[in-house]
Amino acid sequence: MDQHQESDAVKTGKEILSGKQVTPRELLDLVKNKLKKERAFGLARKLLHKFAENPTIRGDPALRLQIAQQRALCTYKDPDLLSDEKLDAALRILKEGDDLDRTTDRESLGLVGAIYKRKWESTGEERDLEQSLAYYERGYDTGTTEDYGWNGINAAFVLDLLADQDSATIDGKTNSNVPALRRKRGSEIRQKIGSSFRLLLDDPKSQWLKKEWWFWATLGEAYFGIDDFAEAGKFLSAAKALPDVSDWEREATARQLATLLILKRKTSPNTAEAAHVCLREFLGNDYALTSVIRGKMGLALSGGGFRASLYHIGLLAKLAELDLLCSIEYLAIIIMPH
């Protein structure tokens, strides 16, 4: 399909915005199974906002919560919204649908944990990371496999991030055993996820999980985190082999694993090379690995005229050849006045 041609899901979404009638359940199916997979978060957010005050939804607490959860997720993932504003808006939406101080809903807890983790990525404030951990751990404590490891695997990840920050609190020297305790806790969570998930592999009622990206990715990350790269590679390969996985799901997993690799280079250099090889095999090549480690980049092109244009075209072509063009999030072209 031409990259400029709208998919059937996007066309349907726009028709609904223009007045086409669908049930809330049909809307949720469109958002969860189609628009999110196509990364059409902005359109999904607008559709969910339109339906949020639907009388059918307001009178059904379970349905209202599902709408709020999907609306919050699509809000904080919408690339067209400003970072701080969309994260705060996503929290407000969740608070409208659930009591976040008392809830035991794993989806809500995982979403709040994700929002605060993104806040930390934006601000660097450790309190946001602590908030993220608190919600993820609450979700994990309600059951290891009931949410298929989402809260637990992220709690372990945030524990490693906090341990890294704690290790450099005073003149680069650790003044307590807190980092070691955090890493131990993260390792325990990953080991529990690994053992619990392996039981699901043999459960006839859970065979459908073998077709789910997050099942294999979570299992792979659990073993990656405890330095069992042979097992991690096996499960990540199973994830990689699945068809019809959205690119944002692959990207989220790759970036989290890349961050773990960076942390391992600091704390356990003896295992860092094996971790590097495992992640490189998952991503396919070193260029892709470099891209996820560096994260998104900005590119500024300066100058005008024929010569500058040729230079710009050559640079963009080389970036595309190295598979780095997809990492460019911001592009600025600066024309100097004569």
**Buried/exposed code over 193-228 (b: 16+ C-beta within 10 A; e: otherwise):** bbebbeebeeeeeeeebeeebbbbbbbbbbbbbbbb
pLDDT at position 1 is 46
Taken in order 212, 214, 217, 219, the sign of the CA dihedral is negative
Quick one: which of 89, 135, 86, 83 has its CA closest to 114? 135
DSSP state of 147: T
DSSP state of 100: T
Tell me which residue range forms the domain holding 311: 296-338
The tally of domains found in the chain comes to 1
Residue 319 domain-assigned (yes or no): yes
pLDDT at position 100 is 96
Residue 326 domain-assigned (yes or no): yes
Residue 4 domain-assigned (yes or no): no
pLDDT tens for each residue of 234-264: 999 999 999 989 989 999 999 999 999 999 9
332 bridge partner residues: 300
Q: Span 73-99, mean pLDDT?
A: 95
Residue 321 domain-assigned (yes or no): yes
Cα 93 from chain centre: 19
Residue 127 domain-assigned (yes or no): no
Residue 320 domain-assigned (yes or no): yes
The residue behind tokens 């590679």 is: 233
Residue 38 domain-assigned (yes or no): no
| 330 vs 114, residue with greater confidence | 114
pLDDT at position 322 is 63
pLDDT at position 300 is 80
CB of 152 within 8 A of CB of 189? yes
CB of 258 within 8 A of CB of 293? yes
Residue 189 domain-assigned (yes or no): no
pLDDT tens for each residue of 269-298: 999 999 999 999 999 876 556 655 655 567
